[in-house]
Amino acid sequence: MKLSEVRGIVTGGGSGMGRAFVLQLAAAGARVVAADINAQGLAETAQAAADLPGTVHSVEANVADEDSVIAMIARAQELMGSVNVLVNNAGIFRDGLLVRVDRATGKVKGEMSLSQWKTVIDVDLTGPFLCTREFAKNAIDNGIKDSVIVNISSVARHGNPGQSNYSAAKAGLVADTKLWAQELSRYGIRTGAIAPGFIQTPILDGMKPEMLEKLLSTVPLRRTGSPEEIFAGVRFIIECGYFTGRCIDIDGGLVL
């Protein structure tokens, strides 16, 4: 599939990597629905895309809410006439150790709350499940024979201390990428995942320089990646018709 043929949805399109994906697709002539829970972020994305050759539509949506996802897919179909690409990018962090022990007493003084666990799982794993289910239903019911799902996982899927919730969600997303490839290929739907490492987004922009330097010391390339470099992986998955069910690591060589 050529990028100019994309009629796609990018969740989390109001900021960070999601915004970069929307703009890169629009620059290639695609029609894109930027979906996000943040209306202000969506407005900024749309403004940034105003002079690009493609078309960007904004749809407010909460990927963790079933009714909101159903409405998002229906609205995208209405706006673009067809939907053939889904980028499951929306994600959140609620980091914390499973248990925190007081060094002085040796007793547990804190823990990852159930709310921290469920909030991340709801957005980062249940969200892609809902979006993919509704996207697949729409593609099959409308006779779309060539469509693509791109799941944004993370290097943290291997397990990263302080991220029990996030690691579980991102590992599950890669497993689902393989599973959905097996289930959906018969309908002309391909899947792929990308596992980014440390990417220069607003989250890292707010980090203290000394903390960022320590973080990057574990990366063989000794730098962060850019959202545009991650989009190179998105582009490959969309364009390569013989790719499905696999995860591409774009992480500067980082090993967790």
pLDDT along the chain (256 residues), means of 10: 97 96 98 98 97 97 98 97 97 91 92 95 98 98 96 90 93 98 98 93 74 84 92 98 97 86
d(CA 56, CA 214): 38
- Residue carrying the six token digits 């018969």: 186
> Among residues 166, 180, 198, 231, which one is catalytic?
166
- Both tokens of 15, joined, read 């900021």
> Please, what's the b/e burial string for 13-34 (b: 16 or more CB within 10 A of its CB; e: otherwise)?
bbbbbbbbbbbbbbebebbbbb
pTM to 2 decimals? Answer: 0.93
166 is catalytic: yes
Length of the chain: 256
Task: Calculate ∠ Cα 142-55-204, nearest 5°.
Answer: 105
Alpha helices in the chain (DSSP H): 16-27, 39-48, 66-80, 114-121, 127-141, 164-184, 202-205, 209-216, 227-239
Q: pLDDT at position 93, please?
A: 86
Give residue limits of the domains in the chain. 3-250
- Both tokens of 225, joined, read 């990646």
d(CA 214, CA 186): 46
- Among 50, 45, 52, 54, residue whose Cα is nearest residue 4: 54
Q: Is residue 183 a contact partner of residue 139, using CB atoms and an 8 Å limit?
A: no
What is the CATH architecture of 3-250? 3-Layer(aba) Sandwich (3.40)
d(CA 44, CA 59): 13
